[in-house]
Amino acid sequence: MSARLTAPNLQLNELGKIKHFLTIEGLKQHHLLEILDTAESFINPKTNEIKKVPILRGKTIMNLFFEPSTRTRTTFEIAEKRLSADVASLDIATSATKKGESLLDTLWNLQAMQADMFVIRHAESGAAHFFAEHVAPHVHVMNAGDGQHAHPTQAMLDMFTIRKHKGDIFDLKVAIVGDVLHSRVVRSQIQALSILEAREIRVIGPKTLMPTHPEAMGVHYYDDIEEGLRDVDVIIMVRLQNERMKSALIPSEKEFFKLFGLTPKRLALAKPDAIVMHPGPINRGVEIDSEVADGPQSVILQQVTYGIAVRMAIMSIIMSNAAQLAQHQSEQAALELENEEEEA
Amino acid sequence: MRLAINNGRVIDPSQNLDGIANIYVIRGRIAAIGNTPPKGFSADQEIDATGKWVLPGLVDLQARLGDPGSNYAGNIATETKAAVSGGITSLCCPPDTSPVNDTQAVTELIQRRARQAATAFVMPIGALTQGLQGELLSGMYSLQQAGCVALSQANQPIQNALTMKNALEYAVSHDVVVMLRCEDQRIKNKGVAHSGPVSSRLGLPAIPPSAETTALARDLILVEEAGIRAHFSQLSCARSVEMIRDAKKRGLPVTCDVAIHQLHLTEMDVLGFNSLFHVSPPLRSQQDREALLQGLKEGIIDAVVSDHTPLEKDDKALPFGESRPGISGLETLLPLLLKLVFENGLDLSTAVRAVTQNPAAILQRNIGSLESGNSADLCIVDPEAIWTLEKERMLSEGKNSPFVGWEFVGKVEQTYFQGRPVYRDNPV
């Protein structure tokens, strides 16, 4: 019997600081708080504007999108430019790998173009881990979504949004409604909420859209939205994809809305000051009623703005950790040299 | 050529034999086992096997040899060398070759190349349907005439129940053993890992046990209706063991096997997305693993196979779900089996029987046994040798083993095929 019960923590360096940002799983509360606090520092408290800073001047960041995306890719690009990095974005779904070049050859080629960081979106769960295992030691990997596994930057911006409105995540009751099974965002949100010690995390939806073992994720499952929403502080709605109807997981959008759609009446079951979130793009009348989406409790559009600050925070932390590690290593080397000289 | 292997502990379940004895070989065949040589015997060569175990050459019901075609790493010459280094002298190669082994020509090509290599006994398995497409029946009679020992669908089970029913009914007249892997492709969908806590956490598309058990239920009923002898390959679920137990109780002529890695690994090994642990059927829960081991101990599971799948480096240098499933397993079949004997309470004779007498009986061949008159296929094992599997020292062209770095007790020292030495371990 092999003894590997936990995944090796690929994303931390030898000082225990973030090196790659692949998943929320395995990070400590202080890692997440550092990200949230740093993101805060990028936003002008009066104007809500995000200023341009020279933190990553001279660094090259490549956005590798093996799966199409507009919003995530755009917010990453903006975040990188506000940090003054040199940016190249590649839509790989339609280029290299189609010509039969292997995935690793593509990666190594791009690495040879002096990349310091790769931002990767890929349709396979575990793809970001795969890249992180194969890049050169000085190159960093950020996961912009891998299959159904993780979307950690999105989860962090959701935590940022919750904290903005609630002051703290600690002790909150959070309900996540919809397609949990296929959602990388939800997996990362659940992990972040647990690490930040939310009091209770509930997942709500039809059994066909739930993972087989929700308890392994540390959540409580409800198949009745009215029961699940009672007294919660935060409601996170998940986008329903069209393919779910085609693969016979649910009958129709109409029936889904009847059973799980967020209506004003259902929203009233949550705490009066509960906030409503949605990673977008929203399907009005499928998972959420327009009246709720545009209502006073909705924070959907703010999430997008915060996304830029949070991604800036993570990228700058990774780069400053690398600088710190390099300094630590050169100090160690100097110390060893000193000791040797003393011995001599 | 007369050979005497002296003073070894001879373990041959086919003769209920376990004791110190000498083995006498004349012209490639076993002449006698005992303490006195046959009359007039004088050895050209004597081997001292004191302190060693002497086993019949192992019989592996499922090993891909990469020949013909380039869809797997290696070829018959390289992979049979790897086989004998693990004590395996007889192996069945499934029909998922390129081209598919669904014609006499391919069967004969495999046999010709095996004869040229002359390292081990290679038994081709013919395709049950043309091109393994699961639609049109293959020429079963012709394949059998050409030398196929069994018919199977490799890893592409027939989905259409009517085609399956017809294939079994047609096959029954030819007294050929049909090997079935049970998997409902629609339930499997795009799954790559067992549906359990690990796939839930990692977001890997899941394969529920029902992908195997519903197909097994269908096939058991069709097998019973057709009245055919059937062998079920590479079971992975606890429930499947129960179903085979019930079928045997009902008197159905069914047998089954398990891939050795299923007795050591579980879904937990998939944490970390290491593609070397991507196999089909998937690694399942701890409870499934225990039920499979229990099934082997009780004789519900008849045989253990390597399910050897030698892959190129590029096949595994991909994210988990995009990598090709399979393990290069010839060199670890016996070591992993012995590990179960030393660490998990598996009886030694049950273990040896599962890779000698039982698979031979399933194939109805005089192999996997040291009875006089049989081909002198045997291996000599040092039961106390401690060694670590190293990638660089693997003989298979497929280095895709998740067991690299594992420490084993018990190592094959020498292997004989038809009385000729085909493998000798060089102690460093």
State the alpha helices, DSSP H only, in chain A: 29-42, 71-82, 103-112, 127-134, 152-166, 184-195, 225-229, 243-246, 253-260, 264-267, 290-293, 300-343
B29-34 and B17-26: which strand pairing?
antiparallel
Is B237 in contact with B213 (CB distance < 8 Å)? yes
Task: List active site positions of B.
Answer: 307
Q: Is A121 a catalytic residue?
A: yes
User: Min CA distance, B93 vs chain A (Å)?
Assistant: 28
* Minimal-distance CA residue of chain B relative to A1: B264
- Assigned domain for A119 exists: yes
Q: Is A122 on the interface with B (CB under 8 A)?
A: yes
Catalytic residue among A28, A57, A71, A220: A71
- Assigned domain for A236 exists: yes
User: Min CA distance, A241 vs chain B (Å)?
Assistant: 16
Using a CB-CB cut-off of 8 Å, the residues of chain A touching B195 are 212
- Assigned domain for A19 exists: no
User: Min CA distance, A42 vs chain B (Å)?
Assistant: 32
Collect all residues with Cβ–Cβ distance below 8 Å to A105 and sequence separation of at least 6: A96
pLDDT (tens digit per residue) in B51-108: 999 999 999 999 999 999 989 999 999 999 999 999 999 999 999 999 999 999 999 9
Collect all residues with Cβ–Cβ distance below 8 Å to A176 and sequence separation of at least 6: A186, A189, A190, A201, A202, A203, A204, A219, A236, A238
The answer on A203 and A251 residing in a single domain is yes
Instruction: Please give the ipTM for the structure prediction.
Output: 0.88
Tell whether the model's pLDDT for residue B362 goes beyond 90. Answer: yes
Tell whether the model's pLDDT for residue B36 goes beyond 80. Answer: yes
The answer on A85 and A131 residing in a single domain is yes
User: Min CA distance, A296 vs chain B (Å)?
Assistant: 34
The answer on A216 and A203 residing in a single domain is yes
Interchain CB distance below 8 Å, B204 and A147: yes
Exposed/middle/buried for B42, CB within 10 Å: 0-12, 13-18, 19+?
A: exposed
pLDDT of residue A8: 55
Smallest Cβ distance to B200: which of A103, A184, A211? A211
The answer on A298 and A309 residing in a single domain is no
Q: Averaged over B22-42, what is the pLDDT?
A: 94
Helix and strand numbers (H, E) in chain A are 12, 9
pLDDT of residue A216: 86
Q: Is A31 a catalytic residue?
A: no
Using a CB-CB cut-off of 8 Å, the residues of chain A touching B404 are none
Query: How far, CA to CA in Å, does A224 sit from each of A195, A203, A216?
Result: 26, 10, 20
Tell whether the model's pLDDT for residue B428 goes beyond 50. Answer: no
Tell whether the model's pLDDT for residue B194 goes beyond 70. Answer: yes
pLDDT (tens digit per residue) in B143-184: 999 999 999 999 999 999 999 999 999 999 988 899 999 999
Catalytic residue among A151, A184, A266, A278: A151
Smallest Cβ distance to B201: which of A103, A129, A216? A216
Spans in chain A with pLDDT lower than 50: 1-7
The answer on A163 and A100 residing in a single domain is no
- Assigned domain for A1 exists: no
Collect all residues with Cβ–Cβ distance below 8 Å to A48 and sequence separation of at least 6: A305
- Assigned domain for A217 exists: yes
* Minimal-distance CA residue of chain A relative to B209: A212
The answer on A276 and A323 residing in a single domain is no
Interchain CB distance below 8 Å, A102 and B317: yes
* Minimal-distance CA residue of chain A relative to B208: A212
Local structure of residue A215 (DSSP, 8 states): G
The answer on A189 and A104 residing in a single domain is no
Tell whether the model's pLDDT for residue B388 goes beyond 50. Answer: yes
pLDDT of residue B427: 55
In order of start, what are the domains of chain B with their CATH numbers?
2-55+374-424 (2.30.40.10), 57-363 (3.20.20.140)
The answer on A182 and A71 residing in a single domain is no
Residue span of the structural domain in which A249 resides? 152-302
The answer on A167 and A87 residing in a single domain is no
pLDDT of residue A5: 38
Using a CB-CB cut-off of 8 Å, the residues of chain A touching B199 are 211-212
pLDDT (tens digit per residue) in B107-145: 999 999 999 999 999 999 999 999 999 999 999 999 999
Residue A341: phi, psi to the nearest 5?
A: -65, -40
User: Min CA distance, B205 vs chain A (Å)?
Assistant: 8
How many domains does chain A contain in total?
A: 2
Q: Averaged over B281-306, what is the pLDDT?
A: 98
* Minimal-distance CA residue of chain B relative to A101: B314
The answer on A321 and A223 residing in a single domain is no
Q: Is B268 on the interface with A (CB under 8 A)?
A: yes
Q: Is A103 on the interface with B (CB under 8 A)?
A: yes
pLDDT of residue A209: 94
B378-388 and B53-56: which strand pairing?
antiparallel
Q: Is A75 a catalytic residue?
A: no
Task: In whole angstroms, give the CA distance from residue B160 to residue A116.
Answer: 52
Which helix (H) or strand (E) is A1 found in, with range?
Answer: none
Task: In whole angstroms, give the CA distance from residue B374 to residue B377.
Answer: 8
- Assigned domain for A341 exists: no
Query: What CATH number has the domain bearing residue A264?
Result: 3.40.50.1370
Tell whether the model's pLDDT for residue B274 goes beyond 80. Answer: yes
Q: Is A82 a catalytic residue?
A: no
- Assigned domain for A272 exists: yes
- Assigned domain for A344 exists: no
Is B389 in contact with B408 (CB distance < 8 Å)? yes
Catalytic residue among A23, A38, A72, A75: A72
Interchain CB distance below 8 Å, B204 and A1: no
Would you tell me which residues 7-36 of chain A have a C-beta closer than 8 angstroms to some C-beta of chain B?
A: 7-8, 25
Is A212 in contact with A186 (CB distance < 8 Å)? no
Using a CB-CB cut-off of 8 Å, the residues of chain A touching B203 are 125, 147-150, 184, 187
The answer on A158 and A298 residing in a single domain is yes
The answer on A242 and A135 residing in a single domain is no
Smallest Cβ distance to B197: which of A7, A104, A216? A216
Would you tell me which residues 193-222 of chain A have a C-beta closer than 8 angstroms to some C-beta of chain B?
A: 211-217
Is A232 in contact with A268 (CB distance < 8 Å)? no
Q: Is B131 on the interface with A (CB under 8 A)?
A: no
